[in-house]
Amino acid sequence: MQNDLTSKIPFRENIRHLKNLLAAVHGLDRSYFFLNILRLLTDTANGALRLVLSADILELLYEGRPMEEIMKSVVLLLVFPSLLTLASSVLWNEFISPRKENIIRIYNGNFAAKFQSMDYSLLESPYVKELMERIDRANIWGAGISDVFWKSDGIIYQILNIICSAVVALPILNTMVHSRNPWFWMGLVMLVLLLVGLTRLYSKTNAALQETILSDFTKKFPIELRKKYVSFTWYWVGRCMGGDYHFIKDIHLYDGYEMMKKYTSDNIRESENAMHWARTSEKMSRKCGMIQGFTQRLMTLAGYLISGAFCILGAFSVGNVVKFAGALTNIIMGFQRMEEQYKDLCLTARREAYTLKMFRINDEMYKGQLPVEKRLDNKYEVEFRNVSFRYPGTDSYALKHFSLKLTVGERMAIVGMNGSGKTTMIKLLCRLYDPQEGEILLNGVDIRKFRQDEYIRLFSVVFQDFRLLSMPLGQNVAASMETDGGRAMEVLAQAGLSERMEQMPEGLDTWLYQEIQDEGVEISGGEAQKIAIARALYKDAPFVLLDEPTASLDPLSEYEIYSRFDTMVQNKTAIYISHRLSSCRFCNDIAVFHEGRLVQRGSHEELLKDEKGKYYELWHAQAQYYVTENGEG
């Protein structure tokens, strides 16, 4: 239920959340609210005009006026409300609805852009992770920024409706006040007391029923069960609706459908307490609806009865009975509905407050000011000098007192067990993170002093968890809308995709995957890795880094790619990371990582001579899997 995600918060805090959210929407389109208020004013004026003209026609009929006079009012009732309806429709269809959809697209696009552009180190920080969890939970129960429009529309409409109704009712009240009718004040007091009493009765009864529902819900359907149900349901449904069908093969092969079903639909259906709550909630909701409808009808009836009494006593004309009763009912019900919609909008504002917090997060990494020297000879030298680093929210060091120098044109293989710091070193080198201790130098200058956007251009990286997008093949390779076709074909051939390219129906314009285009081509994991390598070659950066991108290939295929890649990079500096030591034998320089430290460095032959070294241990642990029939590796 909604109340589970929000607690009672102070009025000022509600106003602050509302102000921030509406200001954010207004900042995306400064004319939206003005145009929408104009449309809603047209709608409320339309309703008030219908009420007044209908009452006037009734009075003319009651007084027996000539048909010509009556027909004039009938024509006005037909023409002017129709014109106002047409104006409202034009405002909505031509101006407001397109702006609303555009605001939603920009808002969601800004969120995606913020998430993609913020410091990588922030993405893994506990604060951002918690914020994302809160945003996910809030979006489970609400419609996000879309809620703002229809809920704010309801409030604005009720405010304008109250104003228009007051404009209709006040002249009648003024006439009654000046008539000095002795029954006026007594009737007015009776009317106000009756309407206030009915309103309080509805509010208290409705609140009591909702409290009963919430209490029973909390007791019979505890928070732990709710979280489990919601989490698993949205996990599976979200993956299916998002087109992520790759996991389905595992469900089929391991007969996991029943397990998934238990965690989702059956999780709530088979819960006796949840079923009891569902039945109780349904009954209570029906009661709330009946009480609300009955109370509103009583208000309308009371307004007409008392207005009719005024008419009998001579204080009202027949037409004023309709006007006053209708206007008064609109005012009372308007306040009631506005209160409910205000609560709903506050709830939306509090949910969206987490997204707005995400927008306000500032990058922490210093972006640098020095331009990176562009060298045609690619003579860049990188040095890690006594670097220590730990990830956000952790106390243990991923790298500790780490020092390493990379010289131009060098081929280095980095090996080590999981968690030894290999990938961390690559992330620091690419300045996805900054070390807590020590420094990383480029040609003798701390890399934090260089312009970050220029520094990143020095590196082509293929991580183990790389991703290709559901876009044309050429754009995936170029990572750009503009693709050099000849260059793309060349690097794809170098990566070993020549034969597969011949099967692509539209060459570089062939879409990958089918999330967007039904004609998209499905590719294997090995083919995806080769495309990722081609992307690294296409960038033509002086440093090329492969962080186990061939993990899904067999050892021989991996060795073949690494050996061929060694000739592809030419005079560039290349670093290879692999769990398979046999794939890195072609490198004359092998660095061995263990527990965040560089423990050995040398050629394959040199490292094997140290029988007590980590490389010797790792090599002999894996060698049995790579030995050929003649005993050679």
Structure confidence by residue, pLDDT tens digits, 346-403: 888 988 999 999 999 988 888 889 998 887 677 788 999 999 999 887 888 999 999 9
Reported confidence tier of residue 632, pLDDT bands at 50, 70, 90:
very low
Residue 138 · residue 354 · CB < 8 Å: yes
Return the structure tokens found at 173.
């009240």
Q: What confidence category does residue 505 fall into, taking pLDDT thresholds of 50, 70 and 90?
A: confident
CA torsion angle 546 396 616 632 (round to 10): -30
Integer CA distances (angstroms), 605 to 423, 594, 617, in order: 25, 19, 14
More confident residue, 398 or 8: 398
Mean pLDDT confidence for 569-587: 78
Greatest mean pLDDT among 110-114, 219-223, 260-264, 581-585: 110-114
In angstroms, the Cα distances linking 552 to 218, 329, 624 are 47, 71, 20
The overall average pLDDT reported for the chain is: 79
**Which of 290-299, 488-497, 605-614 is the least confident region?**
290-299
Per-residue pLDDT at 6: 41
User: How far out from the chain centre does Cα 124 lie?
Assistant: 17
Q: Are strands 411-416 and 573-577 parallel, antiparallel or unpaired?
A: parallel
CA of residue 251 relative to chain centroid, distance? 27
Q: What's the rounded Cα separation, in Å, for the pair 597 and 403?
A: 9
Residues of the chain above pLDDT 70, percent? 71
Strand blocks (E) in 363-452: 382-389, 399-406, 411-416, 437-442, 445-446
Over the stretch 164-183, which tens digit does the pLDDT of each residue have?
999 998 887 777 666 655 66
Confidence of residue 334 (pLDDT cuts 50, 70, 90): confident
pLDDT, residue 628, reads: 43
Side chain identity, residue 322: V
Alpha helix stretches (DSSP H) within 313-403: 318-360
In this predicted structure, what is the pLDDT of residue 598?
92
Which stretch of DSSP H or E encloses residue 599?
A: strand 597-602
SS3 at position 590:
strand
How many angstroms from the chain centroid is the CA of residue 592?
41
More confident residue, 281 or 90: 90
The arithmetic mean of pLDDT across residues 312-321, rounded, is 69
CB 549 within 8 A of CB 533: yes
pLDDT value for 126 = 86
pLDDT, residue 213, reads 58
User: What is the predicted pLDDT for the residue at 599?
Assistant: 93
209 compared with 591, residue with greater pLDDT: 591
pLDDT of residue 400: 92
Hey, what are 328's tokens?
């008064």
Distances 23 to 35, 59, 349 between C-alpha atoms, Å: 16, 47, 11
Mean pLDDT value of segment 11-37: 92
Select the more confidently predicted residue: 16 or 260: 16
Which amino acid appears at position 346 of this protein? Answer: C
What pLDDT sits at residue 12?
84
How far is the C-alpha of 411 from the C-alpha of 566, rounded, in Å?
A: 8
Average pLDDT over residues 520-534: 85
What secondary structure does DSSP assign to 95-114, as a single string? IIHHHHHHHHHHHHHHHHHH
Q: Are 559 and 604 in contact (CB under 8 A)?
A: no
Query: Can you tell me the distance from the alpha carbon of 526 to that of 567, in angstroms, rounded to the nearest whole number?
Result: 20
Which one has a higher pLDDT value, 357 or 121? 357
Instruction: Please tell me the distance from the alpha carbon of residue 547 to that of residue 414, in angstroms, as a whole number.
Output: 9
Residues pairing with 244 in the sheet:
none
Q: How far apart are CA 558 and CA 617, in angstroms?
A: 22
Share of the chain above pLDDT 90, in %: 24
- What pLDDT sits at residue 501? 85
The residue type at 269 = R
- Token pair of 33 as six digits: 């609210």
Over residues 244-258, the mean pLDDT reads 54
Give the confidence band of 541 by pLDDT, cuts at 50, 70, 90: confident
- Of the ranges 263-277, 407-421, 472-486, which one carries the lowest mean pLDDT score? 263-277
Q: What is the DSSP letter of 509?
A: G
How many other CB atoms are there within 10 angstroms of residue 423's CB atom?
19
- The answer to whether residues 42 and 88 touch, using CB atoms and an 8 Å cutoff, is yes
Model pLDDT for residues 57-103, shown as the tens digit of each residue = 888 887 788 888 888 888 888 899 999 999 999 999 999 999 999 99
Closest-CA residue to 44 (of 173, 172, 166): 166
Strands 437-442 and 445-446, how do they pair?
antiparallel
Write down how long the chain is. Answer: 633
Average confidence (pLDDT) over 262-285: 55
Point out which residues pair with 598 in neighbouring strands: 593
User: In DSSP terms, which residues pair with 462 in a beta bridge?
Assistant: 546
42 pLDDT tier (thresholds 50, 70, 90): very high
DSSP class of residue 374 equals -
Q: How far is CA 269 from the centre of its chain?
A: 29
Q: How far apart are CA 315 and CA 323, in angstroms?
A: 13
- CB-based contact 633:562 (threshold 8 Å): no
Residue 555 tokens read as: 């050892």
Render pLDDT for 406-462 as a digit per residue (tens, 0 to 9): 877 788 889 888 888 988 999 999 998 999 999 999 999 999 999 988 998 898 888
The pTM is what?
A: 0.72
Quick one: CA dihedral 186, 188, 193, 198, positive or negative? Answer: positive
Predicted confidence (pLDDT) at residue 496 exceeds the cutoff of 70: yes
Q: Where are the alpha helices (DSSP H) in 361-496?
A: 422-429, 452-456, 473-478, 485-494
The whole-number pLDDT of residue 1 equals 40
Cα–Cα–Cα angle for 428, 429, 431, nearest 5°? 60
